[in-house]
Amino acid sequence: MAWLLKPLVLLLLAAALLLMVLDQVFNLQSNATFLAFRASTKSLEVKTAAGNWKPLNELTIAELDRALTRRIETPGAVWKSLTVRRQAETSTQNLAQAFLSAKISVIELSPQYYTFATSFKDKFELTTAKERLEAEDAIFSITANFREPSGKPLGLVVHEGREMNRTFPAWTGYFFVKSGKPWFGPKSLFEETPGVLEEASQGYPSVMKNHTVFSYVDLAPSRYFDGNKITYRSLAGMRKDGTIVFIVSGDGGAMNVTEVAALAQKLNVQHATMLDGGRALQYSLRLAGQTHHFTAFNTTMDFDSPSLDAERSPVFLVVRPRATAASAP
């Protein structure tokens, strides 16, 4: 029997290596949790600092603050994570929760220390967050505009004061920089904010203005957008003091729009919009000598099958250190 052992060990090693490669390409662990819970009707729960679970809608602001784990903190930037779950109802869900956790990331960036811009390749050739991070020498990059099946961006793109892609009238959310200050929020905020337009991209839907979540987010979430769908989400907003806040799905941390908007409210976000999410969501973060890449799906390997093909996007937002960071107050 000993002669059978060596081939068996080699087979197991090959299988383990294949799983590692597939996990690296398709983020299998994250998507196992996502697929298990995407049809769940249970509410999102947060793991508190005390170690128990509490529904997001019952969580106080103070409890949320204590539940957030600080991963990295540098002057002008902090990356926090939140452990979340939904109550398991099936054996598949129980199995997923037994071995895997679900995370949401909160990334806070100060315009005192960083500049914000759109980033893309020539002719909007499809690219990735990792490529944009390296090409721009940035500390953060994230999927911005939605895109057409052809790969062309949907919605306004402005870079260095030049309009690179025209406005898409149906899109209600905006990232923009006017006279050096970055903003995120609804179309009305974009139109009423004075200043010279330097950078812009459109998102959808806008979800909040002046700390108030728009009524359609809760009352008609599936009328104009897939608001009820549990999937990978990306919200970008700003506080009254100008701090930019990204609330994004991490491994397994799928949400609906109501849930991510509720998190934004509890985190004192004043204005906010959604960016492209779902399988298109990808972001890269580089702080304090550490680099973190998140991809909801395959971004590296090309396949003939549309369901497996690499998910790349035409436009990203990038955050770069200011040449001379403003002095801390």
In this structure, is residue 292 part of a structural domain?
A: yes
The torsion of the CA quartet 36, 37, 39, 42, rounded to 10 degrees, works out to 150
* pTM for the full predicted model: 0.93
- pLDDT per residue over 269-315, tens digit each? 999 999 999 999 999 999 999 999 999 997 887 888 777 788 899 99
Q: Please, are residues 237 and 272 in contact by the beta-carbon 8 Å criterion?
A: yes
In this structure, is residue 326 part of a structural domain?
A: no
- pLDDT per residue over 23-54, tens digit each? 566 687 898 999 999 999 999 999 999 999 99
In this structure, is residue 179 part of a structural domain?
A: yes
In this structure, is residue 96 part of a structural domain?
A: yes
Amino acid 267: pLDDT: 99
In this structure, is residue 328 part of a structural domain?
A: no
Count of domains forming the chain? 1
In the structure, what pLDDT confidence band is assigned to residue 325 with cuts at 50, 70 and 90?
low
Question: What is the domain range of residue 252?
Answer: 2-321
Tokens representing 241 are 């003091």
In this structure, is residue 47 part of a structural domain?
A: yes
Q: Which of 120, 118, 178, 158 is nearest to 318 (CA)?
A: 118
In this structure, is residue 13 part of a structural domain?
A: yes
Kindly give the interhelix angle for 2-26 and 28-37, rounded to the nearest 10 degrees. 70
